[in-house]
């Protein structure tokens, strides 16, 4: 009997991870060599420990243990409070799931409802999912199972960590100590704790296996641009045409120098010659220092690319020749399209590459497209340093200044124009995607594959291919000529809310409600990157023109910059107070623009982040400061739904006016 008690106690301690306790027992055994091979424990003490372990099954132990920890954390010093409060959320949800696992359903519900208000601000969506876990069988479902099997990473300073250990030892909270030991991974650092605003930089990972994520991020990603692009051809043509001019200018300079020197010998004054300054507002004769596109490596396409018509190629080349080179000193002009009387019904908007067409998806299942060449421009405003034009659109059925597309059986959640503007895709809650012709004003194809609402759809940079994101936790890759998807990308633990193509079309990025961004290989369908750091659902994605960096925006207003090659976060961009619904890079990659529900457009300097990434890549300490905010452009009470740069670097934006 005594041996059974000893084995049970050791098994219990080992199960809870108390290695220090086991070592203490082994040391006690070494002090008494006459004891048996198994750790010797006084029978009375063993029975007391076992009875205590059984007593913790009583729901009151969870309520009491969590309540005491909560009171202690809220009563701690303000300097350490915000770090200690981070411990409460994982303890709360695992206390709840332990009660459910032990079939104390009513007590679990009472515990959940009593303490849920503490966590609703930061974890409302997770709590809504967890609220549906009501029986032990529900714990085997994907979301709850992943929470039970994974650890939460919490960054905490050394002194806060010691305070927590001292509290647990003093109160002998075996229940809470077991949960913390099993489900929390502390990342202890030396020095004073960071400010409360820096908590966003703590990598809190729930429902994901971090070791698997690290392993996936070791895979090679070829992030460069496609070979033989129009930009590359134009650059070569410009360099070839400039060579003779440079040689002739150098010859003229030598002759002028000789003449001036001869004149100086005859008593004239010699003036210093000034070199011709490159005139480059339009960038025709100058190569911008901030343009990283030309320095990106070249890769081969994994998809069969469509052939571009000659007239389209000429038009694009003309746009590239007249492109404005933007930087921190030269900001873009903005043309803002405002929807009137549509705020409650407008779900999404999209703008064609040249701004000539604007689409809106509505809750009444309709898709409307405005031709801006037929709509007068009103209220040209010059209130910002960057010229801003405002185009106003309404939904007056009498005049009908738009083309109406009808076919969906539910609200339209996303719309996107093809690169040439001749097609538009729309996705809906009816789980379908529809392809429309802007020339024929007709529906061409209805793509069925998803089982639930489709939140987002995006054309590839070359057209023909497109990707979709759905409530069914998958993203899918399609081609216009096939009604079935080419690839199904599965791996997210919750809704896939947004999707974005990589610049070279070989990869697709997906943002999810599970707070992660994943990068997928188009050819194999495998996940090659998992980006972890957001604290709420991801709503928007954007790829830099050179293909190395990616930006993601979430529901809390945070924007993250990621280095695709290494899988690491470069810098967080903090400034928005509402959801970040849209992101866009300028054509040369020097600026990032974000649009938010807080009715502002913000311009960020991306050049600094590239320098930080390079210094970290070389093993040097980078600048830890956040990305520099260049300018904030407020709207007239209009949340920003969509942003897009034209090929000439004019920024288009759209949103629905709120009365």
Q: What is the pLDDT of residue 650?
A: 94
Task: Report the candidate in 362, 367, 357 with the shortest Cα–Cα distance to residue 404.
Answer: 367
**pLDDT (tens digit, 9 = 90+) per residue, 104-156?**
889 999 999 999 898 887 787 788 888 888 888 888 887 788 788 878 888 88
Question: Which residue is it, tokens 């960057």?
Answer: 386
**pLDDT (tens digit, 9 = 90+) per residue, 13-64?**
554 444 444 444 444 444 444 444 334 444 454 444 444 554 545 788 898 9
Kindly tell me the burial class for residue 247, based on how many C-beta atoms sit within 10 Å of its own C-beta (0-12, 13-18, 19 or more): exposed
**pLDDT (tens digit, 9 = 90+) per residue, 505-534?**
999 999 999 889 999 999 999 999 999 888
- Matching CATH topology for 56-207 and 334-656? no
The DSSP bridge partners found for residue 518 are 510, 530
**pLDDT (tens digit, 9 = 90+) per residue, 100-111?**
998 888 999 999
Cβ atoms 62, 111 nearer than 8 A: yes
DSSP secondary structure, 466-487, as one string: EEEEETTSEEEEEETT-SS-SE
Where do the domains of the chain lie?
Answer: 56-207, 334-656
Q: What is the pLDDT of residue 342?
A: 84
State how far the Cα of 162 lies from the Cα of 178, in Å rounded to an integer: 17
The contacts of residue 538 (CB under 8 Å, 6+ apart) are: 497, 498, 511, 512, 513, 515, 516, 517, 552, 553, 554
**pLDDT (tens digit, 9 = 90+) per residue, 283-321?**
444 344 445 666 778 888 888 888 888 888 888 888 888
Select the CATH number that applies to the domain covering 56-207 from these four: 2.40.10.10, 3.30.1360.70, 1.25.40.500, 1.20.120.530.
1.25.40.500
Residues of the chain above pLDDT 90, percent: 41
* Class at the top of the CATH hierarchy for domain 334-656: mainly beta
Task: Over range 256-271, report the average pLDDT.
Answer: 47
Q: pLDDT band for position 277 (50/70/90)? A: very low
Mean pLDDT, the chain, integer: 79
Q: Are strands 334-339 and 298-299 parallel, antiparallel or unpaired?
A: unpaired
Give the residue, 405 or 195, on which the prediction is more confident: 405
| Half-sphere exposure (Cβ direction) of 284: Cα atoms closer than 13 Å | 6
């Amino acid at each position: 009997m005594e041996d059974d008690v000893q084995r049970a106690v050791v098994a219990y301690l080992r199960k809870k991870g108390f290695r220090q306790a086991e070592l203490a027992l082994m040391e006690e055994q070494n002090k008494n060599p006459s004891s048996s091979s198994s750790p010797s424990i006084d029978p009375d003490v063993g029975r007391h420990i076992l009875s205590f372990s059984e007593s913790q099954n009583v729901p009151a132990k969870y309520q009491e243990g969590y309540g005491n920890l909560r009171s202690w954390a809220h009563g701690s010093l303000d300097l350490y409070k915000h770090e200690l409060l981070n411990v409460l959320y994982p303890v709360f949800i695992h206390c709840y799931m332990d009660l459910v696992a032990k079939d104390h359903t009513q007590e679990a519900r009472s515990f959940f409802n009593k303490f849920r208000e503490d966590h609703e601000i930061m974890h409302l969506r997770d709590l809504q999912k967890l609220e549906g876990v009501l029986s032990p069988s529900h714990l085997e479902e994907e979301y709850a199972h992943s929470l039970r099997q994974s650890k939460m990473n919490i960054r905490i300073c050394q002194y806060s960590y010691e305070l927590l250990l001292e509290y647990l030892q003093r109160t002998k909270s075996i229940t809470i100590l077991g949960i913390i030991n099993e489900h929390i991974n502390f990342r202890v650092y030396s020095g004073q704790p960071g400010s409360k605003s820096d908590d966003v930089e703590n990598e809190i990972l729930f429902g994901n296996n971090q070791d698997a994520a690290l392993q996936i991020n070791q895979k090679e990603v070829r992030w460069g641009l496609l070979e033989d692009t129009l930009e590359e051809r134009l650059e070569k043509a410009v360099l070839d045409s400039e060579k003779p001019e440079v040689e002739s200018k150098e010859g003229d300079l030598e002759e002028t120098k000789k003449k001036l020197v001869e004149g100086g010998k005859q008593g004239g004054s010699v003036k210093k010659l000034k070199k011709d300054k490159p005139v480059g507002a339009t960038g025709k004769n100058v190569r911008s220092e901030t343009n990283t596109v030309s320095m990106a490596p070249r890769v081969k396409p994994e998809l069969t690319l469509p052939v571009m018509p000659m007239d389209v190629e000429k038009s694009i080349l003309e746009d590239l020749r007249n492109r404005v080179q933007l930087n921190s000193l030269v900001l873009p002009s903005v043309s803002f399209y405002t929807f009137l009387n549509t705020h409650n019904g407008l779900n999404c908007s999209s703008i064609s590459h040249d701004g000539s067409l604007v689409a809106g998806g509505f809750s009444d299942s309709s898709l409307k497209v405005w031709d801006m060449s037929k709509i007068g421009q009103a209220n040209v405003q010059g209130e910002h340093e960057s010229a801003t034009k405002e185009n106003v659109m309404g939904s007056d059925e009498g005049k009908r200044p738009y083309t109406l597309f009808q076919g969906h059986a539910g609200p339209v959640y996303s719309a996107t124009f093809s690169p040439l503007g001749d097609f538009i895709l729309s996705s809906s809650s009816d789980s379908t995607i529809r392809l429309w012709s802007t020339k024929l004003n007709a529906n061409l194809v209805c793509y069925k594959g998803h089982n639930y609402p489709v939140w987002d759809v995006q054309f590839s940079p070359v057209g023909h291919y497109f990707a979709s994101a759905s409530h069914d936790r998958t993203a899918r890759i399609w081609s216009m000529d096939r009604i079935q998807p080419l690839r199904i990308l599965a791996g997210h633990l919750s809704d896939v809310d947004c999707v974005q193509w990589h610049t070279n079309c070989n990869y697709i990025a997906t943002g999810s409600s599970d707070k992660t961004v994943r990068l997928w290989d188009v050819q194999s369908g495998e996940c090659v990157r998992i980006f972890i750091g957001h604290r709420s659902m991801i709503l928007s994605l954007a790829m830099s023109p050179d293909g190395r960096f990616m930006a993601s925006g979430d529901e809390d207003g945070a924007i993250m910059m990621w280095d695709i090659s290494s899988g690491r976060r470069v810098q967080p961009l903090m400034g928005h107070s509402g959801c970040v619904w849209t992101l866009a890079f300028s054509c040369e990659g020097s600026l990032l623009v974000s649009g938010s529900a807080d009715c502002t457009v913000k311009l960020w300097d991306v050049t600094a982040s590239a320098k930080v990434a390079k210094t970290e890549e070389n093993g040097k300490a980078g600048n830890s400061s956040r990305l520099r905010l260049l300018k904030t452009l407020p709207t007239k009470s209009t949340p920003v739904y969509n942003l897009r740069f034209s090929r000439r670097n004019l920024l288009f934006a759209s949103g629905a006016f709120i009365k």
